[in-house]
């Protein structure tokens, strides 16, 4: 869509006046130093600049730069990127319904989505898509963008694919009718102990509450009494979904969160009588990657003495964004308010030092030792708050856990990081499972049997090291031994994921997960829950 100079000026005026909360409430300003100045500058550029100006790109850069001056979370999203940005939060996309990886220049099906169009036609894990619409789909040109473009599409449209399946002499042809494919917000649901359930939530999307209630129902069938809710690495999502999830744990009529901004009057959000887990012990896991909606839930649980927060201080993203559509259907997600927990704590960490410094905060926390020791975190008296049961909690940005779990950086050697970042784990597991899938499926008929009996032995480790060596990834002195246990669990978990489901990966990796193990330890200690409110 071609945007002319007049439209550029209109958009900048919109940014300066309509979206500026100070100007919007009537502060005097001089057009000669604002709107007219923008107009003149753009007219001069358009008239006299040495090269031809591509106006749409110019206006996008102007908007992006303007928003960066406001706060770190106001954001511009172009029309073409909007659907991709919304998909994880809407909880679905339209396509054929397969999880895949590119393996040796070929599209390898990791697993069909349960209930999706591919599964219904009999497409299986391990199948290789070699043709799409009768054209070759293998080779160096393959990338995710190409695959998405070919396999995704509007619901009801069709795509023809040809599949190579080991043991079959001829390619298998399928005509697949695309459909809505769910993007799940829950990664894992299982029983951590005979009475304690575990749910890992990766985002707050439109499907989250339905998924959560389904997960709780499954756990109830297995005898759940207490719950570990894992929000580590969960960067947030919709505000109303965070409120509804908090509602699952709190008694009726309790303040969950309130928002307030210069142009946004104070608004309170309270819990209802509904909820699937208002009784029973609750532990919430957070870390430096838990942000926004995750912090709303953790803050409400902590402030109402409903559960124990375990982990490390959360990210500190407490700014509320609202989408505003521009004339070309692009969007500005503009910050309009701040979040506050029930005790009045502001979740947002400071950002006065600017955009760049703000996004270096996690590196700064690591350098200053905050991620490895709670003793390196100091709060002034002005940031101290108290819950109804007189428990001390802290403001100042993010949620400080009740029980601190240090990040053990020692086992994450440079060698291990290289193995991950350069895809050695995935390459090894894909090749291994591709060769051994039939015998593995025959020997391990269930995850429980696999978990109990399958061992990453010395032969597998030697083969894995050989692949790493072929990719010029070599351990430094002692690095292999330091990371050996982590490597073994990562390999076993990835093999389980390929053979069974995504849930299996977490069931294995949590066995050496310090945060998860500390959550189980806290859950079994009566003293932590003596002062809490469990209806």
pLDDT in tens, 135-158: 999 998 888 889 989 999 999 999
If you average pLDDT over residues 285-302, what whole number do you get?
96
195 & 279 share domain? yes
143 & 63 share domain? no
Assigned domain for 478 exists: yes
Residue 10 Cα distances to 3, 17, 49, 75, 87, angstroms = 11, 10, 21, 19, 29
pLDDT in tens, 30-41: 666 777 787 788
502 & 465 share domain? yes
Residue 506 Cα distances to 2, 194, 231, 284, 496, angstroms = 48, 17, 14, 17, 10
| Tokens of residue 250, six digits | 């709190």
| Dist CA 206 CA 76 (whole Å) | 22
The domain that contains 110 carries what CATH number?
2.30.42.10
Assigned domain for 120 exists: yes
Intra-chain end-to-end CA distance of the chain, in Å: 57
383 contacts: CB under 8 Å, gap ≥ 6: 394, 395, 396
Assigned domain for 84 exists: no
pLDDT, residue 534, reads 60
pTM: 0.86
247 & 268 share domain? yes
If you average pLDDT over residues 477-502, what whole number do you get?
94
Total domains, the chain: 4
219 & 307 share domain? yes
Assigned domain for 172 exists: yes
447 & 465 share domain? yes
The domain that contains 225 carries what CATH number?
3.90.226.10
97 & 48 share domain? no
281 & 341 share domain? yes
pLDDT, residue 4, reads 54
If you average pLDDT over residues 421-433, what whole number do you get?
90
Dihedral of the alpha carbons of 294, 301, 246, 277, in degrees to the nearest 10: 120
Q: What angle do CA 135, 140, 144 make, to 5 degrees?
A: 80
pLDDT at 22 over 70: no
pLDDT at 17 over 50: no
314 & 397 share domain? yes
177 & 326 share domain? no
pLDDT, residue 16, reads 47
Which residues span the domain enclosing 219? 186-405
Assigned domain for 148 exists: yes
Catalytic residue numbers, as ranges: 292, 317, 321
pLDDT at 436 over 60: yes
Of 365, 383, 405, which residue sits at a domain end? 405
If you average pLDDT over residues 112-125, what whole number do you get?
86
Assigned domain for 251 exists: yes
Q: Smallest Cα–Cα separation from 185: which of 159, 206, 214?
A: 206
251 & 356 share domain? yes
pLDDT band for position 475 (50/70/90)? very high
155 contacts: CB under 8 Å, gap ≥ 6: 94, 178, 179, 180
Assigned domain for 207 exists: yes
Mean pLDDT of the chain: 89
44 & 165 share domain? no
Pairing of strands 392-394, 384-386: antiparallel
Q: Taking a C-beta distance cutoff of 8 angstroms, is the pair 416, 483 a contact?
A: yes
Q: What angle do CA 416, 420, 425 make, to 5 degrees?
A: 100
């Amino acid at each position: 869509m071609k945007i002319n100079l007049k439209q550029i000026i209109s958009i900048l005026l919109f940014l300066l006046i309509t979206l500026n909360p100070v100007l919007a409430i009537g502060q005097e300003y001089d057009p000669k130093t604002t709107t007219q100045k923008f107009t003149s500058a753009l007219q001069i550029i358009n008239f006299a600049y040495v090269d031809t100006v591509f106006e749409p790109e110019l206006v996008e850069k102007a908007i992006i730069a303007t928003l960066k001056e406001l706060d770190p979370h106001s954001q511009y999203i172009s029309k073409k990127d909007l659907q991709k940005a919304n998909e994880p939060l809407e909880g679905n996309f339209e396509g054929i319904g397969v999880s895949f990886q590119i393996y040796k220049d070929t599209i390898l099906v990791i697993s069909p989505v349960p209930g999706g169009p591919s599964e219904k036609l009999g497409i299986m894990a391990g199948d290789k898509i070699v043709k799409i619409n009768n054209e070759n789909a293998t080779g160096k040109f393959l990338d995710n963008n190409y695959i998405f473009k070919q396999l995704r599409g509007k619901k009801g449209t069709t795509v023809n694919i040809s599949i190579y399946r080991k043991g079959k002499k001829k390619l298998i042809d399928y005509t697949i009718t695309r459909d809505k494919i769910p993007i799940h917000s829950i990664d894992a649901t299982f029983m951590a102990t005979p009475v304690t359930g575990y749910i890992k939530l990766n985002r707050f999307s439109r499907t989250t509450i339905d998924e959560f209630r389904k997960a709780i129902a499954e756990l109830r069938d297995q005898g759940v009494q207490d719950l570990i809710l894992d929000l580590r690495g969960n960067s947030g999502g919709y505000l109303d979904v965070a409120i509804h999830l908090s509602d699952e744990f709190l008694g009726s009529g309790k303040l969950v969160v309130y928002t307030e901004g210069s142009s946004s009057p104070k608004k309170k959000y309270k819990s209802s009588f509904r909820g699937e887990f208002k009784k029973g012990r609750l532990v919430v896991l957070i870390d430096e990657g838990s942000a926004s909606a995750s912090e709303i839930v953790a803050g409400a649980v902590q402030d109402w003495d409903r559960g124990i927060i375990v982990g490390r201080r959360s990210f500190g993203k407490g700014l509320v964004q609202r989408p505003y559509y521009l004339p070309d259907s692009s969007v500005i997600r503009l910050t309009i308010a701040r979040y506050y927990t029930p005790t009045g704590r502001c979740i947002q960490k400071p950002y006065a030092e600017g955009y760049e410094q703000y996004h270096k905060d996690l590196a700064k926390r690591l350098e200053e030792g905050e991620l490895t020791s709670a003793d390196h975190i100091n709060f002034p008296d002005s940031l101290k708050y108290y819950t109804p049961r007189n428990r001390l909690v802290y403001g100042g940005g993010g949620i400080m856990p009740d029980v601190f779990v240090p990040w053990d950086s020692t086992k994450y050697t440079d060698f291990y990081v290289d193995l991950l970042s350069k895809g050695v784990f995935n390459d090894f597991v894909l090749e291994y499972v591709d060769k051994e899938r039939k015998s593995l499926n025959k020997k391990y008929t269930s995850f429980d049997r696999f978990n109990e009996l399958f061992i990453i032995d010395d032969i597998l480790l030697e083969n894995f090291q050989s692949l790493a060596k072929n990719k010029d990834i070599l351990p430094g002195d002692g690095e292999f031994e330091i990371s050996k246990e982590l490597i073994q669990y990562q390999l076993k978990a990835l093999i389980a994921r390929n053979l069974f489901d995504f849930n299996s990966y977490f069931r294995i990796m949590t066995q050496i997960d310090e945060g998860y193990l500390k959550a189980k330890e806290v859950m079994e200690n009566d003293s932590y829950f003596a002062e809490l409110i469990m209806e």
